[in-house]
Amino acid sequence: MTEMTDAPATTPLLEARALGFHRQDEPVFGPLDFRLAAGELMLIEGDNGSGKTTLMRILTGLLRPEEGELLWRGEPLTWDRCSGEVVFLGHQLGLKAELSPRENLAFTIGLHGHRNQSDIDGALRQVGLTGYEDEPVRKLSAGQKKRVALARLLLIPAALWLLDEPYANLDRSGIELVDALLEAHIAHGGAALVTSHGAVQFHGGEPQRIRLHA
Amino acid sequence: MLDTRRPGLVHACMAVLRRDLTLAWRQRGDMMLPVLYALIVTSLFPFALGPESALLRRIAGGAVLVTVLLAMLLALDAMFRSDIEDGSLEQLMLAPQPLALMMGMKILAHWLATALPLIVIAPLLAGMLHLPGAVMPVLLAALLLATPLLSLLGGILVALTAGTRRSGMLLALMLLPLCVPVVIFAAGALAAAQEGLPWIAPIAWLGAALVLAVVLAPLACAAALRIALDS
């Protein structure tokens, strides 16, 4: 595990060179070039079906890019090199419906460890789920489930956040919560990629933007 | 920023095991289905074949063995299904832990939740078919080796078919040839014990196969899942 400070300042956390992807000879997106350094936020915009989720899955290392290359701290990205440093929040939240938020997060911590000075109850309080700690997740609303998944961001010690449509299903205060989480993460030297088909309010400086076309 | 405490391997293994067993316990109705199936099938044998105890005694070992293995098949295709559907598997793959070891723990949890209850009721099933008491320990030994073997082999196949919908049929077809040697060795041990012959050799073969599977199956399972989800 390399500490973030070990990497030379010029090496970006994540770099894509002519990244492209096809599905049955139909181009999904690309060629894309971008560099994302620590302390930077990148927004990926595009309509439904423009390949945002596919791009996200490639960036997690779950899907192999077909064209171009992807570098993680200057070396080719493979799942074992970036595992533990990347946290991915997708459409499927990865929560067990039969377990409570507390049990779900205890499992997350069991696999990933947690940031110092973070704990499950504190994280659940921060995402506004006080009083729901021991309810089975299946009884929570879609927005509350999303908040449980967001609590994972507070706990997992990851340098890069990949958030696929983090605003979906959230109310106004939930959207503000995501923005606040992102700002704190960026301010602490983390990096984040966020896909969205809507407008994003970000107060911590102007983010980079990538537009995907269907 | 990355001022953190990474969990050790043992801690991560326990986390997977604890979560899967908690889930199995919360859904214990599903867990009872294979047990119920085995009980029903075994109780039908005397009706179909007649209550003649000499005949039942002769088939008891094999009947219990096949019934237990078939009952296990009922729960097999659910091994990773919910994890794939709710995205837990992706989260597991992105965790800083060796996937093969985590899959091994998931298979162990699955075995504990589905096969162990069947082994517990196996003496009852065998008793219903008049299996001689002297053969009972051999039956239990054969089941204790054959069922984890089937779980491990099944785990690989479930992982291979993870990307496909309605994989149950495909799974059964693929598992059949792998089941046959397991059944042959287990049934061989039972037949030998029933005739008072030494039965240790087929049991040792099962044990050897199990050791091999314990080492290799989780690796194959992890590799297969990475391929299955890469689409």
Kindly report the three-state secondary structure assignment for every residue of B78-117: CCCHHHHHCCHHHHHHHCCCCHHHHHHHHHHHHHHHHHHH
Residue B22: closest C-alpha in chain A: A99
Q: Which of A91, A111, A113 sits opposite B5 (nearest CB)?
A: A113
Contact of A142 with chain B, judged by CB distance below 8 Å, is answered with: no
Residue among A92, A93, A113 whose CB faces B6 most closely = A113
Q: The pTM is what?
A: 0.89
| A127 within domain boundaries | yes
CA nearest B89: which of A90, A64, A192? A90
- With a cut of 90, say whether residue A104 has pLDDT above it: yes
Interface test with A, best of B9, B31, B80, B91 (most A CBs within 10 A): B91
Mean pLDDT in chain B?
90
Of B1, B90, B91, which has the smallest distance from its Cβ to A190's Cβ? B1
Residues of chain B in contact with residue A116, where contact means CB-CB under 8 angstroms, are: 3-5
Q: Contact A92/B90, CB-based, under 8 Å?
A: yes
In the predicted model, what is the mean pLDDT of residues B32-44? 94
A35 found inside a domain? no
Query: What number of residues does chain B have?
Result: 231
Taking only residues 128 to 157 of chain B, the set having a beta carbon closer than 8 angstroms to any beta carbon of chain A reads: none
Q: Is the pLDDT of residue B71 over 60?
A: yes
At how many degrees (to 10) do helices B9-26 and B99-128 cross?
40
pLDDT digits (tens, 9 = 90+) for A150-168: 999 999 888 899 998 888 8
Looking at per-residue confidence, does A29 or B50 come out higher? B50
Q: And the tokens for B215?
A: 């080492």
Closest approach of A82 to chain B, Cα-based (Å): 8
Structural domain span for residue A155: 41-62+78-212
**pLDDT at residue number A33:** 86
Residue B2 is predicted with a pLDDT of: 46
Q: How far is CA B183 from the centre of its chain?
A: 13
For residue range B119-150, list pLDDT tens digits in order: 999 999 999 999 998 899 999 999 999 999 99
Could you report how far apart the first and last alpha carbons of chain B are, in Å? 34
Average pLDDT over residues A190-201: 79
Q: Is the confidence metric ipTM above 0.90 for this complex?
A: no
Angstrom distance (rounded) from CA B221 to CA B103: 7
Q: Is the Cβ pair B3, A116 closer than 8 Å?
A: yes
Q: Which residues 43-72 of chain A have a CB within 8 Å of chain B? A: 60-64
Q: What sign results for the dihedral spanned by CA atoms A51, A149, A87, A197?
A: positive
> Mean per-residue pLDDT for B196-209?
93
Q: Tell me if A58 is assigned to some domain.
A: yes
Contact assignment for A113 to B4 by CB distance below 8 Å: yes
pLDDT tens sequence across B217-231: 999 999 998 888 776
pLDDT at position A172 over 70: yes
Whether residues A108 and B91 touch (CB distance < 8 A) is answered with yes
Quickly list DSSP for A125-177: HHTT-TT-TTS-GGGS-HHHHHHHHHHHHHHS--SEEEEESTTTT--HHHHHH
Domain ranges of chain B: 9-229
User: Considering only alpha carbons, which residue of chain A is nearest residue B84?
Assistant: A94
A134 touches chain B (CB under 8 A): no
| In-domain check, residue A144 | yes
In a domain, A10, yes or no: no
Mean pLDDT of chain A: 83
End-to-end CA distance of chain A: 38
> What's the farthest any 2 CA atoms get from each other in chain A?
50
Give the confidence band of A200 by pLDDT, cuts at 50, 70, 90.
Answer: low
Give residue A57's pLDDT. Answer: 85
Residues B76-105: pLDDT tens digits? 888 888 888 888 988 888 888 889 999 999
Rounded-to-integer distance, Cα A18 and Cα B112, Å: 48
How many structural domains is chain A composed of?
A: 1
pLDDT digits (tens, 9 = 90+) for A9-58: 568 888 888 888 887 777 777 788 888 888 888 888 888 878 888 888 88
Question: Does residue A71 lie in a domain region?
Answer: no
Q: What is the CATH number of the domain that holds A138?
A: 3.40.50.300
Quick one: pLDDT at residue A4? 47
- The verdict on a CB contact (< 8 Å) between A94 and B86 is yes
- Could you tell me if residue A131 is inside a domain? yes
- A199 assigned to some structural domain: yes
CA-wise closest residue to B170 among B105, B115, B228: B228
Give pLDDT tens digits for B143-194: 999 999 999 999 999 998 887 777 778 888 888 898 999 999 999 999 999 8
Quote the CA–CA distance of A74 and A159 in Å, as a whole number.
15
Which residues make Cβ contacts (< 8 Å) with residue B221, sequence separation at least 6?
B100, B103, B104, B107, B155, B156, B159
CB B149 within 8 A of CB B206: yes
Q: Which residues of A touch B87 (CB under 8 A)?
A: 90-94
| A100 membership: H or E segment, kind and range | none
Query: What pLDDT is attached to residue B7?
Result: 79
